Amino acid sequence: MSSGGQREQWATRIGFIFAAVGSAVGLGNIWRFPFQVGQEGGAAFLVIYLLFIVLIGFPAMLIEFVVGRHTERNPVGALQEIGAGAWRYVGWIFIATGFVILSYYSVVAGWTIRYTLLGLQDDYIADAAEAEAQFVTLASGLDAIFLHAIFMVAVIAIVAYGIERGIELAVKVMIPAIIVIMLGLAVYVATLEGASEAYSYYLSPEWGVIAAEWQSILPAAAGQAFFTLSLGMGVMITYASYLGEDRNLAEDSAIIIGFDTAIAFVTGLIVFPVLFTAGVAPGDPGAGAIFVSLAAAFGDLTFGWLIGAIFFATVAIAALSSAISLMEVVVSYAIDELDLDRVTATLAIGGAIFLLGIPSAYDLVLLDLFDLFADQILLVLGGLLLAILVSWSLSTLAIEELERGIGDLGSLGTAWIWAVRIPVVLVLVVALVLGILDYYE
Ligand code: PHE
Ligand code: NA
């Protein structure tokens, strides 16, 4: 049952947008996106990914927003309110996904802190094999567990302060900083000698790759679209539940998606020129590849230590604003449904997530498995079930809720519902099946 006190709300109109952008922009853009591009065929992946962002991501984000604003509850409570039968329990998938993702997300965020420090100590190594060895020692074991702990403490501290004084204040500082720094870096690396080769790798697709490898490109692109927009695990339900006012949610979604896509795109413009200039191949698979190749590349550049330190510090900040949203999903549940106070809930949940992250911090192979499982299976499953429920049995409610703050949508409302009923559901089903096959390979 919901607790007796007044539920929290965003203090300013812009606070909600900033927080949602802060959630969206994170390791997904700056760590996951370039390594997916490298692993799944360069520009060809980029094209499919952009297509999915618009066709699948946008309508799916609206679904989460209307559910959150309509129910004004955490994902578990929200689904209990709008779902019947077994659908009432879909919210639990969201909570579980949040738990799993944050556990390893925080480990990767810990690496970004480590690599910021490496830059400041001028310790990037140009030799690729040595850079790899350096990564392996730093990225798993006690060092990694320690940094994972530090990062979780930062997350706990912000979330414990609550919506207005914690999350809202933090993101208003972080987001502008990220945008300015990333643009500056992109302009700087454009002057590198490998830039033009990198641009053609990143921007001119080889269509044959899609035909040959769609079985892996499709689930990877769908999973990445969901991951990067923070969909499929109730973050956008939770953030919209603190709205209380009649915002134009379609406009807000477009802004959030625009920012997230721009940052991912610009990250590619930074990462690939750096890699090509240093002669490092972008195609290596796995979660660590991007750290190894970037560190080797920064080790090779003049002022690479400085550029690297700025780059990794920015990534750490972006990771923090996303991690607080993951944490807030679970915390909002504990506050609404278990009647815990915010500080107790944050400490208990943060501690549990820290423990769950230890295996990932201990062994890279486990981290890759957690990531694949959460991204290609859990996120997609949660998103799929929510899309089916809302578009097929709650369409009138959904359209009415979306119209609050926009006005009469006419046939656009129906178009939105049908975009979810068939294209979104279809893509997610295919992605889920291929993702499961991929996972058990
Ligand atoms: N969207 C975040 C990113 O791109 C990750 C994330 C996923 C955050 C799911 C919250 C929920 O880094
Ligand atoms: Na993102």
Looking from the CA of 235 toward its CB, the CA atoms found within 13 Å total 30
Q: Kindly give the distance from the C-alpha atom of residue 258 to the centroid of ligand 2, in angstroms, as a whole number.
A: 11
Q: Which of 82, 104, 143 is nearest to 398 (CA)?
A: 82
Q: What whole-number percentage of the chain has pLDDT above 70?
A: 98
Give the pLDDT confidence score for residue 372 in this predicted structure: 86
Please check the confidence at residue 220 and state whether its pLDDT lies above 60: yes
Rounded to an integer, the average pLDDT of 243-259 is 91
Judged by its nearest atom, the ligand closest to the C-alpha of residue 265 is 2
Cα of 53 vs centre of ligand 2, distance in Å, is 11
Spatial separation of the C-alpha atoms in residues 113 and 108, rounded to whole Å: 9
- pLDDT bin (cut points 50, 70, 90) of residue 289 is confident
Q: What average pLDDT score do residues 278-296 get?
A: 77
pLDDT of 146 over the 90 cut: yes
Average pLDDT over residues 112-137: 92
Question: Which ligand lies nearest to the CA atom of residue 223 in the structure?
Answer: 1
Residue 286: per-residue pLDDT: 66
Q: Are 325 and 22 in contact (CB under 8 A)?
A: yes
Do residues 382 and 234 touch, judged by C-beta distance below 8 A?
A: yes
What domains can you pick out in the chain, each with its CATH number?
A: 13-439 (1.20.1740)
Position with higher pLDDT, 342 vs 375: 342
Q: How far is the CA of 4 from the centre of ligand 1 (A)?
A: 31
- pTM of the predicted model, to two decimals? 0.91
CA of residue 2 to ligand 2 center, whole Å: 31
pLDDT at 54: 95
Proximal ligand: closest to the CA of 262: 2
Q: Which string of DSSP letters, residue by residue, matches 141-196?
A: SHHHHHHHHHHHHHHHHHHHTHIIIIIIHHHHHHHHHHHHHHHHHHHHHTTSTTHH
Scanning the structure block, which residue is given the tokens 């694949």?
372
The single-letter code of the amino acid at 11 is A
Looking from the CA of residue 29, the nearest atom of ligand 1 is: 4
* CB contact set of 30 (below 8 Å; sequence gap of 6+): 263, 264, 267, 314, 315, 318
Query: For ligand 1, which residues put their CB under 6 angstroms from it?
Result: 23-24, 26-29, 101, 227-228, 230, 233, 235, 322, 325-326
Question: What is the distance of C-alpha 79 from the center of its chain?
Answer: 22
Query: How far apart are alpha carbons 72 and 70 in whole angstroms?
Result: 6
Ligand 1, atom nearest to 27 Cα: 12
Structure confidence at residue 123 (pLDDT): 94
Helix or strand or coil: residue 285? Answer: coil
pLDDT at 2 over 70: no
Q: Which residues of 10-48 are buried (b: 16+ CB within 10 A; e: fewer)?
A: beeeebbbbbbbbbbbbbbbbbbbbbbbbbbbbbbbbbb
More confidently predicted of 417 and 291: 417
Q: How far apart are CA 303 and CA 119, in angstroms?
A: 10
pLDDT number for residue 122: 95
Q: Are 310 and 181 in contact (CB under 8 A)?
A: yes
How many C-beta neighbours within 10 Å does residue 200 have? Answer: 13
Q: Which atom of ligand 1 is nearest the CA belonging to 228?
A: 4
Q: Which of 12-16, 33-37, 78-82 has the highest mean pLDDT?
A: 78-82
Cα(275) to ligand 2 centroid in Å equals 22
Q: Is the pLDDT higher at 171 or at 83? A: 83
Rounded Cα distance between 359 and 364, Å, is 9
Flag whether pLDDT at 166 surpasses 80: no
Residues 44-70, mean pLDDT to the nearest whole number: 96
Task: Answer yes or no: is pLDDT of 134 > 70.
Answer: yes
Q: How confident is the model at residue 120 (pLDDT cuts 50, 70, 90)?
A: very high
The mean per-residue pLDDT over the stretch 231-236 comes to: 94
Q: What is the mean pLDDT of the chain?
A: 90
What's the CA gap between 214 and 222, in Å, rounded? 12
Give the integer Cα–Cα distance in Å for 423 and 321: 31
Pocket test for ligand 1, best of 23, 105, 379 (most atoms within 8 A of CB): 23
Output the CA 178–ligand 2 centroid distance in Å. Answer: 13
**Which amino acid residue places its CA nearest to atom 11 of ligand 1?**
230
Highest mean pLDDT: which of 222-226, 252-256, 333-337?
252-256
pLDDT for 5 equals 58
Which of the 8 DSSP states describes residue 8? P
pLDDT for the residue 15: 84
Distance 202 CA to ligand 2 centre (A): 18
Q: What is the pLDDT of residue 223?
A: 87
Query: Which among 230, 260, 315, 330 is the best mutation to test ligand 1's pocket, defined by most ligand atoms within 8 Å of the CB?
Result: 230
pLDDT at 216: 86
Q: Which ligand is nearest to the CA of 318?
A: 1
Q: Return the closest-CA partner of residue 370 out of 362, 282, 21, 317.
A: 362
pLDDT of residue 311: 87
